[in-house]
Amino acid sequence: MTLSLERRSILLFVLCTGVLAAGIGLRDPWPADEPRFALAAKEIVETGHWWFTQRGNELYSDKPPMFMWIQAVLYQTFGSMRLAFLLPSLLAALGTLALVFDLSRRLYSERVARIATAAMLITVQFTYQMKRAQIDPVLVLFTTISAYALLRYVLLRGSERWLWAGWFCAGLGIMTKGVGFLPLFLLLGVLVLRRWGFAPIPPPDGAGLRRLGLGVLFMLLPIALWLVPMALQAYLGDSPEQRAYANDLLFRQTATRLVNAWHHHKPVYYYATVIALAWLPLSLALPWLFGAWRNAWRERDARIWVPLLGAILIVFFFTLSTGKRDMYILPALPLMVWAAAPYLPDILDRLWARRVALGFALVFVLAMLAAALLAIYAEPKFELKLELERGLDAGADQIWFALLGIGVAALLAVAILWRQGPQAAVASLCVFWLGFGLILTPMLNGANSARDLMRRVAISLGPDADWGMLGWREQHLLQAQGPAPKLFGFRRNYDEQTKDALAWLHADPDRWLFADRARLKRCQSEPYPMPVYATGNRREWILLQRSALPLSCAPSTPLAPAADSVPDSVPDSAPSPALSP
């Protein structure tokens, strides 16, 4: 039975929802970024402080509050952080796919729109990021809405309301992450392509400056609704912590971060490797797309080159910064898909393209099977490293048996669809993401989220313990059970935190301290004899009372350098002075 075009599109979005939603409610936030934002959202709800986000007993100024506001609203609505923290990413992913579908349908056809949407769904970086609770999925949604509105105005001769909507959503993007202005590169591309005679771009009508001025006002409007009240409180109030929060967020985390990045240093060609690998399997079509885009340039087709030039400018913009991360260029992906959309059906009909897609599916599935079999029977280095860093029980083969089962299911899907290479690639990736969300996620959650560790701590301490945490990570505070722990800071100077923690512990013999073992090794120069309580998140953790400390750990003892402290992950930002004691 042949399905109608409308039913095929509905089934496509059912598939998208299933793949992207698989695992929601089955896991807690995982490091490095997810616990940080979930903790900030939880504390917004519990404290009622919406203008200044915080992490423990310090203000958190690394990111604007939009994403954490959304999580906080959903947490208030559902009462479960396990459910609420991933919903923004799911809604953002589905919204982005719907926009890709709708504009492709309006510019070309419904069949083109379905293929473009499927290509977006199975692009590895897109699905991976959209199944994580980071800021980038919501940023991509706002930048895609903005780009969609601007392209409706430019390419489909929409009313000026689309132009103002594009500017307004760019402002929402800036409130989400400072680079939310990226879709405005499309307007720069329009100016360039108009001079080259590309169509259908509206000719200049003398109202350019008026539109520019109104556009900037529409962009600043949502920013001002948050920025003005926050700045008034920070700069007119008497809180140095709030003033430091505003300074760090408005200046250091924006312009300084882009111009003089202090982390994630990568070579100039880095994003070429991201596009080639992280944008698989879509990037496999590039050899055919290059020729098609060249012809579109000769034909002066603005439908192709306005979004394509916008994507190129976004990648170029981030290439100029020394600090690079793979997800930075994710807002360029919908633009590239729009530029590729009309050519994908013809490419997929070519014999060699179908063979390449089938080859990708086979390599992907066989690599999955090989990794699982090696981990089960040979204990390779990657298995031992994962068990050590994540605190998994040695020989946790059930995880690898689960991966083996997912690989077998994916191989079966490829075997059934081997004559249709593109469909085989789609099926193999969808099977993997469904298996990852529904099977692997619950198995890995206890160790990755620190849920098991903090439950064990709660059992060891009992319900009425007076306890503190030193060298903690966000997942520990988020998963802490029982009485609220005493905190000594997060970004404060390490020596000051350690001295305060030791003084607090020595003041009462009944107190307990949960600490990063590397922190307390600083009390003495010789190897620290204290046994490890648990291992997790690439660190060793100890749980002790005053009686278990050696005399060299007295609060007045000078602290030796902590050269062997192991970082939890590449930091989200460079250390800065504490915002609150």
As a dihedral over the C-alpha atoms of residue 124, residue 130, residue 135, residue 136, rounded to 10 degrees, the angle is 40
Give pLDDT, residue 393: 63
Same domain membership, residue 215 and residue 198: yes
Instruction: Using CB atoms within 10 Å of the CB of residue 572, give its burial: 0 to 12 exposed, 13 to 18 middle, 19+ buried.
Output: middle
If asked whether residues 309 and 174 sit together in one domain, one would say yes
Angle (nearest 5°) at CA 574 between 570 and 579: 125
Amino acid identity of residue 181, one-letter, is F
Residues 469 and 496 in one domain: yes
528 and 482 co-located in one domain: yes
Question: Running DSSP on this structure, what letter comes out for residue 330?
Answer: T
Torsion angles phi and psi, residue 541, rounded to 5: -120, 145
pLDDT (tens digit, 9 = 90+) per residue, 64-112? 899 999 999 999 999 999 999 999 999 999 999 999 999 999 999 999 9
The pLDDT score that the predictor gives to residue 529 is 62
Residue 49 covered by a domain: no
What is the model's pLDDT at position 342? 97
Assess contact for 207 and 163: CB atoms under 8 A: no
Please check whether residue 361 lies inside any domain of the structure.
Answer: yes
d(CA 143, CA 166): 9
Overall domain count for the chain? 3
pLDDT at residue number 253: 65
Sign (positive or negative) of CA dihedral 154, 160, 164, 165: negative
> Which residue, 282, 303, 338, sits at the end of a domain?
338
Looking at residue 22, what is its pLDDT?
95
- Same domain membership, residue 311 and residue 169: yes
Domain end marker among 448, 483, 500: 448
pTM for the predicted model, two decimal places: 0.89
Residues 264 and 164 occupy one common structural domain:
yes
Q: What angle do CA 48, 449, 464 make, to 5 degrees?
A: 65
Reported as a single tens digit per residue, the pLDDT across 320-373 is: 887 788 899 999 999 999 999 999 999 999 999 999 999 999 999 999 999 999
Distances (CA, A) of 540 to 2, 312, 387, 456: 59, 44, 13, 15
What is the reported pLDDT for 297?
96
How many angstroms separate the CA atoms of 397 and 373, rounded? 10
Same domain, 421 and 507: no
Flag whether 75 is in a domain.
no
The stretches of 436-511 forming alpha helices (DSSP H) are: 441-448, 451-461, 474-479, 494-506
State pLDDT tens for residues 402-431. 999 999 999 999 999 988 889 999 999 999
Q: Give me the residues of the chain with pLDDT under 50, please.
A: 1, 262, 560-581
| CB-facing half-sphere around the CA of 326: CA atoms within 13 A | 12
Closest CA to 408 of 359, 373, 356: 373
Task: Tell me, yes or no, whether 40 lies in a domain.
Answer: no
- Outline where DSSP puts E strands in 4-161: 54-55, 58-59
User: What are residue 570's phi and psi, to 5 degrees?
Assistant: -60, 125
In a domain, 41, yes or no: no
Please tell me the distance from the alpha carbon of residue 153 to that of residue 427, in angstroms, as a whole number. Answer: 36
Q: Let me know if residue 28 belongs to a domain.
A: no
pLDDT of residue 540: 84
Last residue of a domain, one of 338, 373, 394: 338
Residues 234 and 180 in one domain: yes
Domain that holds residue 432: 351-448
State whether 455 and 431 are in the same domain.
no
Work out the burial of residue 27: count CB atoms within 10 Å of its CB; fewer than 13 is exposed, 13-18 middle, 19 or more buried: buried
Please give the pLDDT value at position 494. Answer: 84
5: in domain? no
For residues 277 and 323, membership in a common domain is answered with yes
Q: Residues 462, 419: one domain?
A: no
The answer to whether position 118 is within a domain reads no
What's the 3-state SS for 21-32?
Answer: HCCCCCCCCCCC
Same domain, 325 and 440: no
